[in-house]
Amino acid sequence: MSQAVKKNVGKKEAPKRPLWREILSWVLTLGSAVVIALLIRTFLFIPVMVKGESMQNTLMNKEIVLATKPEYLRGNFNRGDIVICNYPDRGSTLFVKRLVGLPGDTLEIREGVLYVNGEAVDESGIDMYSQSTASMSPLTLGEDQFFVMGDNRGNSNDSRRVGPITRKMVVAHVQRVVWPLSKFWQKVE
């Protein structure tokens, strides 16, 4: 008896799985991956591409940022945070803006200077691309209202135009830039 034949004499072949079991295995694997991805996107974080120039120089057009959700799901909002939000009557379009007013705040803009609760906001740490000299009459936010503005104040479609947004419209908190690679993992403030 040859060497090759001797090796196979005592071995049994593994039974082949039926085709339907193989397909079911693939469907369950892919389905699990989709469910996990949806859970991560719903409760942990989302990547978002910045579109437009409203957040210059803090964030530039076509940069991709990583935005986290847990703190906002718990209701931890902070003035000055950069957020991902929706606008009224704009569907699921996402916007990147700075949170400047919290529920109960009174906001006013005098000759381009933002006042919150009667005090001028020191925005010297924000690398704004352009400053608007426009004014806005005092506005007091309701218990479920937030006010957002772009850092490029002269070129931003924000709460000055669309009005306050609700808590439900604030989707996530921008944390880091992930693209381009030259800015990879840069903290966003």
pLDDT of residue 117: 96
Whether 5 maps to a domain, the answer reads no
Mean pLDDT score across all residues of the chain: 85
pLDDT of residue 154: 85
pLDDT in tens, 51-65: 999 998 899 999 999
| Residue 54 belongs to domain with CATH number | 2.10.109.10
pLDDT in tens, 7-39: 555 566 767 778 888 888 888 889 888 887 887
pLDDT of residue 51: 92
Neighbours of 157 (CB within 10 A): 14
Whether 64 maps to a domain, the answer reads yes
Residue 171 has pLDDT above 80, yes or no: yes
Whether 61 maps to a domain, the answer reads yes
Whether 19 maps to a domain, the answer reads no
**More confident call, 104 vs 76:** 104
Residue 111 tokens, joined = 């000759």
Whether 90 maps to a domain, the answer reads yes
How many domains does the chain divide into?
A: 1
- Pairwise CA distance, residues 164 & 161, whole Å: 9
- Pairwise CA distance, residues 152 & 154, whole Å: 6
Range of the domain at 113: 45-187
Catalytic sites, residue numbers = 54, 97
Phi, psi of 162 (to 5 degrees): -95, -10
